[in-house]
Chains A and B, each alone.
Chain A
């Protein structure tokens, strides 16, 4: 019976094909930034779920739901930021102990790169992103040795994609060196460090991040630095806004200080290098006097 044999062959083929595809590595990323990096490294051999992926969520304050906890409980690999940025993930990991799960904490991998004020927004340091990507490639290779070469190749491609980002950084530094920069939150701190810029009014930014009130003196100093053009760039957190930050942003615009809004994590679907590049292009445009 040729027909039945064919059907059987087809069935077996489908079974094998499914079997090969049915075992992608289950990865949970606390924020979409790390989800994008994991996806870039793992390609089709990983199934990534990014928990915080909506740009409207404040990742500092996030209450997890059971579906998230289930995903964490089932995950083979969890990748997160650390430094208290995603403390909720730490709680979920403790609630679902699993010795076989591998946890990649970006800030812990690059502890020598952490700023002295423990600014948690480490994902704006390209080196942290690359170290995280390298660690993920090693973890994936351990879990799925058959595709280790693929992961290594993806890592190489990832680092190649970062080159244009560095190119953009160099261009900005060449055109606008040594700026004093202020902002509503320290979210962009690591990139400013890379650019060799000086962050001022840090106390106000800390307080905005922690949802406490800055003191009037601090706000006065902040406003004075805007009015007197003591700063050459104003960065605001496009995701977390309050009446205070909106007023300061408006003040900076009035004083004709270049203003740029940055996000806390990559828009879903946008690879990490492209996200960084897009942000830097916005920055360059603002510095060059092109209003969005």
Chain B
């Protein structure tokens, strides 16, 4: 069978990877529009501290990951809304959380591989529980995203215009960061905290250059994300090397091609 789909772990990898790619693409597109890439980066890393804390308390590292990421998202949402101010707040939350993480590891006297493993992720080590959890959370995030889509789109493009039409811009921002925290929480154990941008930022960044409308960008980003995930898993299966390396590599390549080829595909009017 192609792609080793006769193996349960490959089915889990393809299914969970696809769910994560499909939720990362639209979330990442809005992350770019709203210039919240630093928040996404921070959220992917605070999960490590949560995992370390959970291990210390003999709980599942995933529980700690979700709890810490969501709590940090609330913290981020409360700390400033202007971009400059927001980045300082994110830096503070990230710093504090990672400090706690190091402390938890320091207090923990046994082998902490499970906490550190969170930073790397393992796409071929997904259990069926984790697969269904990822798919369920991804679906939930997409449903909420569709519900808040129009106000979010306007608020991301023009905050003042959105306020003028009575959109609760602040509350919407909080909901968005919480959704981002959920999307990041299911991605980190699969693709790893260090490589989360290969699905969250890579595909929307390429799609942004190629698509002229928000919906076109979302669709294209989702397709690119799926292609990267499947391509990465297939390359890893047939050729070797870790899948996350392949996904990151393909992501970078597609972005380069889009950035180089995008402007050439479309004859532009003279400025």
**A–B direct touch in complex (beta carbons closer than 8 A):** yes
- Chain A residues closer than 8 Å to B106, beta-carbon distance: 207, 210, 212-213, 215
| Residues from 99 to 131 in B contacting A, C-beta threshold 8 Å | 102, 105-106, 108-114, 116-117, 120-122, 124-130
Cα separation A123 to B9 with both chains bound (whole Å):
29
Within 8 Å by CB of A66, from B105, B111, B124, lies B124
Contact, CB under 8 Å: B124 / A60? no
- Chain B residues closer than 8 Å to A65, beta-carbon distance: 124, 236, 240-243
Number of interface residues of B (CB under 8 A): 37
Contact, CB under 8 Å: B10 / A66? yes
CB closest chain-B residue, reference A117: B109
Cα separation A131 to B233 with both chains bound (whole Å):
38
Contact, CB under 8 Å: A63 / B116? no
Within 8 Å by CB of A69, from B112, B117, B124, lies B124
Cα separation A87 to B243 with both chains bound (whole Å):
18
- Chain A residues closer than 8 Å to B116, beta-carbon distance: 60-61, 210-211
Chief secondary structure at chain B's binding surface: helix
Q: How far is the CB of B263 from chain A (nearest CB, A)?
A: 37
Cα separation A255 to B141 with both chains bound (whole Å):
60
Contact, CB under 8 Å: A70 / B110? no
Most chain B C-beta atoms within 10 Å of own C-beta, residue among A73, A92, A210: A210
Within 8 Å by CB of B127, from A68, A84, A94, A212, lies A94
A64 on the interface (CB 8 Å rule)?
Answer: yes
A67 on the interface (CB 8 Å rule)?
Answer: yes
B4 on the interface (CB 8 Å rule)?
Answer: yes
Within 8 Å by CB of A95, from B9, B109, B233, B241, lies B9
Q: How far is the CB of A289 from chain B (nearest CB, A)?
A: 34
Q: How far is the CB of A66 from chain B (nearest CB, A)?
A: 4
Q: How far is the CB of A200 from chain B (nearest CB, A)?
A: 15
Known: A65-B236, A85-B111, A85-B113. 8 other contacts (CB 8 A): A65-B124, A66-B243, A84-B113, A84-B114, A87-B113, A95-B126, A95-B127, A215-B106
9 A-B pairs in the complex with CB atoms less than 8 angstroms apart:
A61-B116, A66-B10, A66-B236, A66-B243, A84-B114, A88-B117, A96-B9, A206-B109, A206-B110
Contact surface of A with B, Cβ cutoff 8 Å: 60-61, 63-70, 72-73, 83-85, 87-88, 91-92, 94-98, 117-120, 206-207, 209-213, 215
